[in-house]
Structure 1
Amino acid sequence: MESSGSGSGSWQGLILVGIVTWICVSSYLNFTYKLRSLLQPWVARHVLGGVPLILSIQKCQNGVLDAFFSALSCVVSVPFYTAFLPLLFWSGHGRLARQMTLLIAFCDYFGNCIKDVISAPRPSCPPVRRITATKDEQDNAMEYGLPSSHTLNTVCLSGYLLYYVSSSVGFENVSIQYYGFALACLLVALIAFGRIYLGMHSVVDIVGGLAIGVLILGLWLSVTDQIDDFITSKQNISSFWTALSFLLLFAYPTPEHPTPSYEYHTAFNGVTLGIVTGVQQTYSQFHHEAAPRVFSPELLLSAYIGRVMVGIPTILLVKFCSKSLAKWILPTVSSALGIPIRSSTYIPKLKLNSGHANGKKTDETKFSVGYLHRICEFLCQDSFDIDTGIRFFQYAGLAWSVVDLVPSIFSYINL
């Protein structure tokens, strides 16, 4: 056992050192800018070349199709998955919920990294007609690009769900497996077509989402058992994943223009940390394979509804409290350590003024001296956005409550 733990610690250390090395080397070589300069013209040509196809598809404009594809976009969006995961955990399907959480996080991070590095400007509207299904899409319609995150997520999650159901239920009837595969392909096709119809993506975005989704799904299915065994083991999981989550915040490429992708990654990075640490601590109590599942005699539908009625308000309260604590603690700690900070949303007194925008530091960043400040300069940042840390801890606390606090409450009140 000791040798196993030592071996695990070794490869965990190698992963963290590798990420740190990548951050330093890519920052020094300005890798993001060079890669963007190389690939963005190619993407831009294909975006413009796909406009005639988009316009031809949009000729079949219909109110019913508008509503259908808009609703379908909401159902397969990351916010929907985020809201759905707590219900999946509380239903007793812990393994499926864990794997979907990690898979969504991986797709979100990898896909958005590519998008923020090489995405070209979107076709103008008009001539392309853009129908936004959610408020986020309405605010950031010009940000969507290669790859299509909806298509990528749909490929990965529908493929994994099909794999999970087939392996769990053990369908021996080949025709049922074919029907399941056909249904997954139909969903992917509808999502892909719908993103073009809504004017939110070009053809190259869809093709990129399909290709990257298939590659990620194939990789994930080859290591899914090892990943789950690692998460549910006792091999320094919490400390390793905390360090990994922190480093991934710095490893994310700097976009050409501000986009919401980094905010989405930060939130789901926090969700993943909360899920992993919570499951690692309470696996044998609440999330093992023999845990009661909904519709079974041990967990009736009425009891599951009771779980939802208790759990949803609890996790929302934890999310609010986590955000409030982070807004109070993080600026204090940053000030004590001499880390220059700013805030774009959460803390009005730390918002940048015109003086900082012209290269002069505000009063809030004048305390930044010493070694930590030199690290900030090495990372090409005059100051760090404290909103990133607040958002990260807010969602980490929310996710931890889903798999640790709330199941403990369920156990206490016999739900």
Structure 2
Amino acid sequence: MNSTLAEAVVAGAGGQDLKDLPVPDSFTAAVVRACDVSMFQGVEDKDVRKSLFVEEVPMPELAPDEALIAVMASAINYNTVWTAMFEPLPTFQFLKRMGKAGGWESRHDLPYQVVGSDASGVIVRTGSSVRRWKVGDHVVVAPAYVDEQDPDTHRDGMLGEGQKAWGFETNFGGLAHYAVVRASQLMPKPALLTWEEAAANPLCASTAYRMLVSERGARMKQGDVVLVWGATGGLGSYAVQLVLNGGGVPVGVVNSAEKASLLRSLGCEAVINRSELDDGDPTALERPDGWKKMGAAIREAVGEDPHIVFEHAGRKTFGASVFLARRGGTVITCGSSTGYEHTYDNRYLWMRLKRIIGSHGANLYEQCEVNRLFSLGHLVPALSKTYALRDVGAAARSVQTNQHIGKVGVLCLAPNPGQGVTDPEARAKVGEDRLRIFRERGR
């Protein structure tokens, strides 16, 4: 910890005390460097431990519509892995584009990028135009960084041309002691959660909510059968909870007996362990014979085909997803962690009247709706393991190699796990066993 301001935040100082303390000139952050963008050319294993560094960086100036957050905890998302692999393209291209826009955007074009798209913490400064938030507020950060002057933003925050993923397409992200966010990214931290529990949720939970529940997504209704790929991962673990909460029937796909057991403890009764279907062939789901085996397993588990397929893996599962959705069903996709170039048999799409819907992130309203579900205890964090900021490379590597379940957290200014709960009564009502369900399995 490198400042009296940080020490005061950790000690629980109030807003006025925080205002009276100086903002440090620099802070500790996890960064990638522009000089390293070619380091993995021709390398098969692009090990992110080699490209992520924890070092001191200068404190940026604050724009009028921004807040400076003392970050207590953050989390690893796959976009941080992409950034650290410099794939599918170096994110410094995004920062250069921001720099060309001029004004406050030019601050982002630097030879390093502070990464991270999740955070919980305490507001320590606000810009002159921030009205709804004050120094001392406990907050979580919504990752959608939007252009409020773009007309399309007012139709849907995710449709504006200037919409970006904070900490991926911008600088000054959450894997650091301090982060710079727009006021339009702020939400109250759920009082029953610890810092690391609260930080694990915003990006993945809101993405899953928009995909399944929002009028802009699949519009899941009661009784819908929903196939969830990677059902114990960051996205899938929230998707399963949302399907159960909404009266749907989740069918979770996992790759081990341990993950299958975790899913059942969440309340997901229909679980398919793909390792038992593919006979050791990881490419089975890329062929029609593998699709048919999966379809038979789904019908055996729930008696019918899926109304909705929750798709985020991409190349290795997309053909199967289009095949597996029932006649008139929906494939909702938000990403392609196994590759962007998808192939599928179009006959199963057009002749059976199916739909493919693209979904990206979540607007602030959708984010706040999800945040409220955590505050009510209707959703629980998918946090399985927490690392110190100095070990961010190992944390990101565990996600890169799929050695994790749920979400992987990172402590930033918080010295230890378990801190930050301000409503212990609400926490007791939910129960420690339920709140820690992923950690008990992720040890």
TM range (shorter): under 0.3
Bigger proportion of residues as helix: 1
Which has the larger strand fraction?
Answer: 2
- The structure having more radius of gyration, on CA atoms, is 1
Query: What is the TM-score with the length of structure 2 in the denominator?
Result: 0.26
